[in-house]
Each structure stands twice: as C-alpha cells, then as structure tokens.
Structure 1
Amino acid sequence: MSPTPAAAPSRYTFGGDEHVFVEISESMSLPAFFKGMAICTALRERALPGVSEICPANASFQVRFDPDVIAPDDMVRVMQEIEQSVGDAPGDLATRIIEVPVLYNDPWTHETLMRFRERHQDPSSTDLEYAARINHFSSVADFIEAHSSAPWFVSMVGFVAGLPFLFQMVERERQLEVPKYLSPRTDTPKLTLGYGGCFSCIYSVRGAGGYQMFGVTPAPIFDPAQKLPYLKDMMVFFKPGDIVKWKPIDRAEYDRILAEVEAGTYTLPMRPVTFSLPEFLAAPDSYNQKLLQVLHGD
C-alpha cells in the first residue's frame, strides 16, 4: 500500500445553527480517518468556549457549538487553521488492540437470516455463502479466514448506542465488500457480527438492521449496568481508533465465555499500542503481524 497523495481541502458545511459538518474525503481510507481524528483531537485540546460535542466518523466529523458564544464563521476559521496545522498525513495514534471472540455461522443469526430471505440478494444461500461467492472465495471457511486474519480499525461508533463500524486494515484491492440487504430486516440478534459495504460492525442491541450477518460474539460491548470489568469506566466499550482482531471460536468456547459473562468475570483481551500510519502504509502485512504480536505478548 503506497502512501496516499496530498488530499484536497476538506468540505465544510453548516447543519442548522449549531453544527459544522466536515467531510475529509468522499471515500473511506485510513489517511482520511487519521486526519479527521487528528483534527478532532487538536480541537478537543483547545477546549474552545462554546464547543459542546465533537463527533468523529469514518472520513468526516461533526462539531456542535453555541453560536451565541462563538460565531459560526469563527468556528469554521478555527477548524480550518487546525486542519492546515495537521496536514495530510498524521503519524502515530496511541490506542489499544483488542481480541474479540466470534462464533461464525451460529444458529441464532442463521435462524434470523432464514426468516428474511425475500429481502436478500440471493434467497437460496446464507449470508456467509453469498459473501464468500461474490468475493471469489472457494468456501465459507476461506472467507472467514480472510475476514478474521487481519486487524480492523474502529472508525466510528454510533447508529445505536455502542455500535462500532470497523474498517479492514489491508490494501484496498484486498478489501472485502458485501452489499447490505435489499431492504432492512426488522430483527437482528444482539451482538451479531454484521457486514455492509466495506465495513464490519457489531450490533450492540437487538433490533432492525440491513447488514449481512456472519456470526455472534458472546462479549457485551454496551451495558448501562456496567457489570463487566472492561465496562466499568464507560457503558460503551469501543472508541474510534481501537484496533480489533476477530478470533473465531467454536460453540463450546462460546458457551464457556458466556458463562463468565453471566458471572461478571469475563474480560476482553486487550493491550495498549501505538499505531504508526506511515509504517502501516509502507508494509501492511508485516506491520499487522507486529500488532498481533503486541496483542499476544510476544
């Protein structure tokens, strides 16, 4: 993956009287994500009077401000100054790498997807079978290996409380892509591992959804009661910039982890890490292996 050339200036638009929306790029990329994160971090550090919310997204972000405290044009001017100071290729990000267990091809998402085949592109196959075929894999097992072998970036959290969107950390030509359902389902099991476009997600709660369903994780990622050790600091677990490695598990391991979750003792394996965008862009596969060595304590 070669370094991305200098990007065009971001597009600034107002959303009503209290919001500025900034589009870094029309397409998702790690350089666009990093640039948005760097601007958001610098703006947060300034503690600008009148700014109440800073919400990063995949390749954009939105800021809420009080126009009685800071004039809209002044708000944009400050953000543009920060963008110029950040430049096009921010370097390092202090974050964490997390291993998330996944039971692929589980019975609960299978039962659900079979109820909604009339809304799917291929009613004769499962979501995983369809995803494997259109991405030119010879088997579901090969597709799961491609999905779970490389780490993923959490690029934004939202849609419903605690739901992370994740971008695969591989060269663009190796990105897995699967369209959403033709029309959304009215049901998706809680903690479903979903896929739409080039993004993975975890449905933090049960509800409607249109992403393809690949499996489930036994590990809660949103809990207002904050019963588990890794949710003590905040009821929403994931943050933009987190790095995630999916770990395929079998039903016995799923049941074992679920028992620990119910006992309040389970914790997700994770370690702090400093991610270098230039190093990753220079050699994605070897850099990913270094990240996984950090995760496993090697």
Structure 2
Amino acid sequence: MPTFSLPETVFSFGGDEFIYAEITRDMKVESNLKALAVTKELRDRNIPGISDVVSSNASYLVRYNPEVISGKDLVDYLKEIDYTKSDPANLGISVRMLEIPVWYDDPVTRECTDRFIDRHPDPSLSNLEFCMKMNGFSDKEAFIEHHSSIPYLITMLGFMPGTAWQFPLGLKEQEMIQAPKYKSPRTDTPERSVGVGGAFTVIYPVRGSGSYQLIGRSAVPVYDSSQKLADFQDTSFLARLGDLWKYRPVNESEYMRIRKEIKDGTYRFNKKDIELSPLEYVNKGKKYIQELMEDIQ
C-alpha cells in the first residue's frame, strides 16, 4: 500500500501571543485530520503558557502567554509535535458518524429565499434550482441523492456558536456540489436551514444572517440550549471536530414525526463510533467511505 507524507507545516507569528501553523493552503482531508491530531496532542500535553488551541480547515492557531513561554521555544516545540503527525499512517482518529434527516426543498427555506431574491446571483431560480444548475443537474431527485449519498467531515467550527463546516468525503473535486454565496448576505435565515457555499455544507444552528444557498431544512437541532435531548447531555452543541455527518432525505410526514419526537424529548440520533484512517481514505477513496457507512445508510 503506497504511503506519503504531508508537506512541511509553515509557522508564522501573529503579534506577541499567536502562532499560526499552515499545513496546506488548499483544503485537503488529510491536512485537516493532521490539524486535529496536532491540536489534540497539544491539549493532552497541557503545556504551560498555552492558553488556547484552535483547529481550522488546513491549519491551526495557538495562543500563548509570552511571559510564561517564549515564542521561539514554542515554535520549536510545535515543530517537534507537528513532525510526528506528518505521516497519514499514524493519523487514525476516533470519530462519530451521525445521521442528519433533512427535508430538501422545504417550504420554510423556499419562502426565505423568495424574500431575499434581490440579493441572489440568479433571481430567476430558487436556491436549490441554482445549485442544480451550477452543478449540471436537471433532475431534483438526482441532485438530492448526490448530496446525501456521502458523509461530510466537520473540518471547522465557528461563525455562530454551533456552526460546523462540512467537507464532502469520497468525491473528486469535479464531483463535489459547489455553489457561490449570495451577492449580499440575507439578514434572516431560519434555524436548521441546510446551506451550500463553495464545496462546504452547513446547518444554521440558530436564526440569523447568512449567505449560503439554502437547499433544505434539518429535522433535528444542532444546538439545544435546554439540553433536553439525551444526545445533548454533555454539551449544547451537536458538532465535534472530526465528526462525519450523513444526510438522509425525508418527506414532510417523517419530518413532522421527528419534530414531535424532538419536542417530546424522545428522539435519539442514529450514530456509530468509527476509526477514521487518512491513509485508507487516500488509498481507497470512495470505496473506503462506503465501507464506513455500511451500518448507518
């Protein structure tokens, strides 16, 4: 089985308190998993002087106290840890795969897109129709099947609390559903809206502004301040870095049934724990992803 190493990480300072580590400039799954592995190692070591560690799509950021540890010494320390995580064969991580039921082309997000049609790149089309056109689909069901057929890796958290950037797995770049954002952001987006921007998919955790193309609405929350559901007992946020989310299309009837279970507090997510291997992913691609999905499709 062929092996390879990731490019050498580039370190730079951001003022007196930050070190920025760029693994690759373009988004690569193995780069993201390396960032996750390095930042986990940093947290586990609990290095004096480090106050925060943040993982991003293909990079990570470290905040430190220069009165406790010098930036030069910390960079040397980071390089040592970073080097040990440069071989994809050693980057296996334990993650969850969760099923996210979605009502595609639902009336709530359609109404929202109608209200802000003047800010859209093509006012003659709905957001979903626009995504179909941009990706060469003429049949709505084929588009939905393509979007929901593979899992999405949560590569970054941010913007609004609970927002998870999700990158498609198992597809070549030309096969990924991609779409430009709005010309000017909407001032209102329904909570649980599913949006596409670039090659990323997001679920809006709460009602607010947004500029991604809306293609449907999740039946389940990704943020629960009440922590009423069993899957939110440890935190109000569903997303974890490294999670895999698999979308499952549902119709109106099933959507409403799930919403009732959410209200009653009885809903449980369909999920499983898996060991994700970047090396297996690089060498086997979509076949490896299909193997991971066997018990959750």
* TM superposition score normalised by structure 1: 0.94
Counterpart-to-counterpart distance in 1, 2:195 and 2:128: 10
Residues 187-225 of structure 1 show CA distances to partners (whole Å, capped at 9, x for unaligned) of 110011111001001100100001110111121111222
SS at match of 2:98: strand
Counterpart for residue 214 of structure 1: 215
**Superposition deviation, residue 172 in structure 1:** 2.3
Counterpart for residue 152 of structure 2: 152
**Superposition deviation, residue 22 in structure 1:** 1.4
Counting aligned pairs with the same residue, the percent is 37
Residues 96-245 of structure 1 mapped to structure 2, 5 A cutoff: 96-169=96-169, 170-245=171-246
**Superposition deviation, residue 107 in structure 1:** 0.7
Counterpart-to-counterpart distance in 1, 2:295 and 2:156: 23
SS at match of 1:12: strand
User: Which range moved further: 208-217 or 277-286?
Assistant: 277-286
Does the CA contact (< 8 Å) of 2:94 and 2:275 recur in 1? yes
**Superposition deviation, residue 11 in structure 1:** 2.3
Counterpart for residue 279 of structure 1: 280
**Superposition deviation, residue 88 in structure 1:** 4.3
Counterpart-to-counterpart distance in 2, 1:236 and 1:4: 36
**Superposition deviation, residue 5 in structure 1:** 5.6
Does the CA contact (< 8 Å) of 1:154 and 1:239 recur in 2? yes
Does the CA contact (< 8 Å) of 1:191 and 1:220 recur in 2? yes
Residues 238-284 of structure 1 show CA distances to partners (whole Å, capped at 9, x for unaligned) of 11100111000011111111111111111211111111122222222
Residues 257-268 of structure 1 mapped to structure 2, 5 A cutoff: 257-268=258-269
User: Which range moved further: 284-293 or 205-214?
Assistant: 284-293
CA RMSD of aligned residues (A): 1.6
**Superposition deviation, residue 293 in structure 1:** 1.2
Counterpart-to-counterpart distance in 1, 2:239 and 2:218: 14
**Superposition deviation, residue 84 in structure 1:** 1.4
What code does the residue aligned with 2:287 have?
Answer: S
**Superposition deviation, residue 9 in structure 1:** 2.0
**Superposition deviation, residue 288 in structure 1:** 1.8
Counterpart-to-counterpart distance in 2, 1:222 and 1:214: 19
**Superposition deviation, residue 236 in structure 1:** 1.3
Residues 52-131 of structure 1 mapped to structure 2, 5 A cutoff: 52-89=51-88, 90-131=90-131
Counterpart-to-counterpart distance in 1, 2:10 and 2:224: 36
Count of residues in Structure 1 that have an aligned counterpart in Structure 2: 295
Does the CA contact (< 8 Å) of 1:162 and 1:238 recur in 2? yes
Counterpart-to-counterpart distance in 2, 1:23 and 1:282: 24
Counterpart-to-counterpart distance in 2, 1:108 and 1:238: 23
Counterpart-to-counterpart distance in 1, 2:157 and 2:253: 30
* TM superposition score normalised by structure 2: 0.95
Does the CA contact (< 8 Å) of 1:10 and 1:25 recur in 2? yes
Counterpart-to-counterpart distance in 2, 1:291 and 1:266: 24
Does the CA contact (< 8 Å) of 1:4 and 1:31 recur in 2? no
Counterpart-to-counterpart distance in 2, 1:262 and 1:15: 46
Check if 1:44 corresponds to 2:43. Answer: yes
What code does the residue aligned with 1:165 have?
Answer: W
| Uncovered stretches (5+) of structure 2, i.e. residues with no partner | none
**Superposition deviation, residue 13 in structure 1:** 2.3
Does the CA contact (< 8 Å) of 1:162 and 1:204 recur in 2? yes
What code does the residue aligned with 1:10 have?
Answer: T
